[in-house]
Amino acid sequence: TQLLEQSPQFLSIQEGENLTVYCNSSSVFSSLQWYRQEPGEGPVLLVTVVTGGEVKKLKRLTFQFGDARKDSSLHITAAQPGDTGLYLCAGVVLLRAGKSTFGDGTTLTVKP
């Protein structure tokens, strides 16, 4: 059983469209990170959220941490081809100090 479930697994959209990807768990997290990975490269950190209900914005990307700290979402406004990549969420389970657990990721393709 995957600790972090990401959905959708694959998403293909046209340039200019909006999209939301989700990261869900039955566990409570002390913090949660979102990464983007491009082909042939390692994941690159986009944001970290630590407070329930927290919303962070990074240009056209909006990240939200659920009130109960069990889930998170990433919303992209007016997607561009440069947003194409694998989006990974990772979290540290509360009271289980140490390593992060990664979700399986959402592969996003934005067509020009």
Dig out the tokens for 17 from the structure.
């469209």
Interaction of residue 88 with another protein, rule CB under 8 A: yes
- Backbone φ and ψ of 79, nearest 5°: -60, 145
Per CB under 8 A, the list member of 22, 28, 56, 104 interacting with another protein is 104
Interaction of residue 5 with another protein, rule CB under 8 A: no
Per CB under 8 A, the list member of 45, 55, 78, 94 interacting with another protein is 45
Q: Of 42, 34, 31, 38, which Cα lies nearest the Cα of 58?
A: 34
In the chain, the amino acid numbered 104 is: D
Query: How many angstroms separate the first and last alpha carbons of the chain?
Result: 36
The interface region with another protein, picked from 16-24, 57-65, 75-83, 102-110 by CB under 8 A, is: 102-110
Interaction of residue 96 with another protein, rule CB under 8 A: no
Q: Of 50, 66, 93, 51, which Cα lies nearest the Cα of 74?
A: 66
Question: Where on the chain is the footprint of another protein (CB under 8 A)?
Answer: 31, 33, 35, 40-45, 48, 88, 90, 92, 98-105
